[in-house]
Structure 1
């Protein structure tokens, strides 16, 4: 296995480690961060399981799941998590997801992170299509995806069940031949 480690202008992506559990719990366990995600805040123990599964998936060939720590290049601090999951039936397509600590919101970090994930997927993994889904109420994610070069495709009705009720998802995607080389990371 060759570990993932890439950098953009302000952010880095690297493999998660057991030492990242507390930093990742600050994302996964935060009610504000998970408000628009398809799950409730996670416990520290659940985050430990996520990290263990991520480490295990890093050794599987062919690798389909990348759970990466998002680091601030200025201080090296883990400020979020990024996920890229390659579809088993369509190995040139992947879904992305991300979460950032709320104290890093509103500064364009989400856009930078999406651009870095697109660069990783298109240039390093040679994917053709990368997509992500967001809550219809998450206008910050909408803006970040659009500015990063993704296109809004449409709505999946009653896609996820959150807090006892169904929620729609809005799908955005980028295609390699439309995106390649147009963005600096």
Structure 2
């Protein structure tokens, strides 16, 4: 199975149906915080909903349109990270992620995104990887900034979250910039 060990405790593994119960439990525990940023939160009301998403993501993986990964600490899921909207012809993709509240603030997401960018450039031969973060989600923006991603601009009122249009800050890095960063 596809697994990238980041350190002795942290790894990224291909998302599987076995992750559904763990991931749904995290969503339930952190629903209030996730709901603030993630438009899919309200639609994920049962383990079956999470399982449906995992199956969708695996289909996208099979068609080379997505790389859906589970973030695990000591073998237990703590969140998800992916490359989505993978465009092989134009050689670009976008990063998406979320993390259990109790795992935040310890560099888990920065190290996970760092590894995902390396996978995107080294293994998927991408030229550009983008990351979008809510204008008020400063921790998510800080991940992009710590990794040397460049802010490209703001997509005004771009996503509907909780019946409110939210603006997104767009960051990106190019393959040659990533190589210099590494």
* TM > 0.5: yes
Report Cα offsets for 1:100-133 as digits up to 9, x if no partner. Answer: 1001011111111110110110111110100011
Q: Return the alpha-carbon distance in structure 2 between the equivalents of residues 23 and 83 of structure 1.
A: 17
Q: Return the alpha-carbon distance in structure 1 between the equivalents of residues 34 and 167 of structure 2.
A: 18
Contact 1:37/1:134, CA 8 A, preserved across alignment = no
Contact 1:128/1:175, CA 8 A, preserved across alignment = yes
Q: Return the alpha-carbon distance in structure 1 between the equivalents of residues 88 and 54 of structure 2.
A: 25
Q: For the structure 1 residues 79 and 95, does the alpha-carbon distance in structure 2 shift closer, same or farther, using more than 3 Å as the test?
A: same
Q: Figure out how many residues of one structure are paired with residues of the other and give that number.
A: 177
Q: Return the alpha-carbon distance in structure 1 between the equivalents of residues 69 and 153 of structure 2.
A: 27
Q: Return the alpha-carbon distance in structure 1 between the equivalents of residues 66 and 109 of structure 2.
A: 20
Contact 2:92/2:129, CA 8 A, preserved across alignment = yes
- Which structure carries more helix by proportion? 2
Please name the residue that 1:156 is paired with.
155
Aligned ranges 1:95-110 → 2 under 5 Å: 95-110=94-109
Q: TM-score normalized by structure 1? A: 0.87
Contact 2:66/2:86, CA 8 A, preserved across alignment = no
Please name the residue that 1:176 is paired with.
175
Segment of structure 1 superposing worse, 14-23 or 34-43: 34-43
Do residues 50 (structure 1) and 53 (structure 2) align? yes
Q: TM-score normalized by structure 2? A: 0.88
Aligned ranges 1:21-60 → 2 under 5 Å: 21-29=20-28, 30-41=31-42, 42-43=44-45, 44-60=47-63
